[in-house]
Amino acid sequence: MKRIAVGTEKGAYLLEGSGSSWTVDGPMFPGWKVTAFGQARDGSQLAAVGSNWFGIGIHRSRDFKEWSELESAPSWPDGEDRKMEQVWTFHGDGDRLWAGVAEAGLFTSDDGGVTWDPVPGLNEHRTRADWGPGFGGLCAHRVLTSGDRIWAAISAVGCFRSDDGGATWEPKNEGIPAVDSADGGERPEVGYCIHGLAHDPAQPDRMWRQDHLGMFRTVDGGDTWERNEEGLPSGFGFVIWRHPGTGRLLTVPLHSSESRVPVEGRLRAYASDDGGDSWGVAGEGWADSPQFTGVLRGAFDGDESGLFCFGTTGGKLWLTEDGGDSWRELAPAFPRIGAVRLVG
């Protein structure tokens, strides 16, 4: 039996089952936006919630059914003009948990999420005054780690890398077009709208990046990026996900920054089996009818068994259980989906 956690604008839901038989439990956290799921090293599950009225919170569970709110959560120091709007991502690395948040910043916890410390090397970066929000806000939405080398993706700002465990950070966006720079103008140090980031844990400097302005990859940890979007109907989208076993890359292209729905309503996951050299529609089973809906960066997950699942802004779930060869839409409908996580 598989379990899929779904975070929506109105609560979280847990799907359990396989094949054509899935049960739905929820809503958990009724009335709250559920923005990210994570897992502490002791196996406990974490869910980040947010509210337009009551700020953010982090809840912990052993069974994904009974939850308790942790007393603390990432927070900016008292008196700050920065607002803690949302936890966008959790990333576990050994005993350390990372959280990426909006207003953009990173926090770490070494006690399973009970207490959180800011990462000043990034949060107070020398370029911080030049950070500006994109359409989705000013958010740190992805963290990847490999030993002391750490990457952070900040929307509308760029990719940052630390080579000293998070003490110091440098922007890593060479080869990426800046969102607002005029042709021929001097390249700004920040202002690169990274939407998604994935890497090969066995060769962590091999990375793929879904950017506002295209799909890119690097083989040197982000020092230089090159475009790789042959076969994609559009370079725009939010998702980039890599299967840890086969190396298959998956994305869900959307038409453009302006429309943010699939080209001609043809909702499809696209896959690359050659490291991004070429892309094609992943498998079969896609709807014939137009699907004018989006897929957000946190709403795609998968496991080694070949179960991949993504949720849409229209509140539907699509999944494959054979590594992307055959897809189907599940029957239940949910509020707008922003987070999907396969729960171990």
Partner 1 sequence: MSVQVRLPRVLTDTAGVAPRHEAEGTTLGEVLESLFAGAPGLRRHLLDEEGRIRPHVLVFVDAAREARETTVGPDAEVQVLQAVSGG
Residues near partner 1, by CB under 8 A: 29-32, 49, 51-57, 59, 67-71, 73, 75-84
Q: Is 183 exposed, middle or buried (0-12, 13-18, 19+ CB in 10 A)?
A: exposed
The least CB distance from residue 316 to partner 1, in Å, is 18
Q: Which is nearer to partner 1, 72 or 168 (CB)?
A: 72
| Nearest alpha-carbon partner for 297 in 250, 233, 344, 229 | 250
The least CB distance from residue 102 to partner 1, in Å, is 13
Q: What is the rounded distance in angstroms from the CA atom of residue 103 to the CA atom of residue 85? A: 6
Q: Which is nearer to partner 1, 19 or 79 (CB)?
A: 79
The least CB distance from residue 105 to partner 1, in Å, is 12
Query: In the structure encoding, which two tokens stand for residue 196, read together?
Result: 């998604």
The least CB distance from residue 52 to partner 1, in Å, is 6
Concatenated DSSP letters for 105-174? Answer: EEEEESSTTSS-EE-HHHHT-TTGGG---BTTBSBEEEEEEETTEEEEEETTTEEEEESSTTSS-EE--T
Contacts of 254 (CB under 8 A, 6+ apart): 234, 236, 237, 238, 260, 261, 262, 263, 294, 295
Contacts of 28 (CB under 8 A, 6+ apart): 11, 12, 13, 14, 34, 47, 65, 67
Q: Which is nearer to partner 1, 71 or 183 (CB)?
A: 71
The least CB distance from residue 30 to partner 1, in Å, is 7
Q: What is the rounded distance in angstroms from the CA atom of residue 128 to the CA atom of residue 126? A: 6
Q: Which is nearer to partner 1, 78 or 183 (CB)?
A: 78
Q: Which is nearer to partner 1, 75 or 257 (CB)?
A: 75
Task: Match 């009818």 to its residue by tokens.
Answer: 289
The least CB distance from residue 34 to partner 1, in Å, is 10
Report CA Rg, the chain: 19
Q: Which is nearer to partner 1, 53 or 185 (CB)?
A: 53
Instruction: Please name every residue paired with 69 in a beta bridge, in sequence order, or none if there are none.
Output: 59
The least CB distance from residue 56 to partner 1, in Å, is 7
Q: Which is nearer to partner 1, 30 or 185 (CB)?
A: 30
Beta strands in 201-342 (DSSP E): 203-211, 214-218, 226-227, 236-237, 241-242, 249-251, 253-254, 270-272, 280-281, 300-302, 308-311, 317-320, 328-329, 337-342
Q: Are 310 and 296 in contact, with CB atoms under 8 Å apart? A: no
Contacts of 226 (CB under 8 A, 6+ apart): 175, 216, 217, 218
The least CB distance from residue 76 to partner 1, in Å, is 5
Q: What is the rounded distance in angstroms from the CA atom of residue 11 to the CA atom of residue 6? A: 9
Q: Which is nearer to partner 1, 74 or 158 (CB)?
A: 74
Q: Which is nearer to partner 1, 64 or 225 (CB)?
A: 64
The least CB distance from residue 106 to partner 1, in Å, is 17
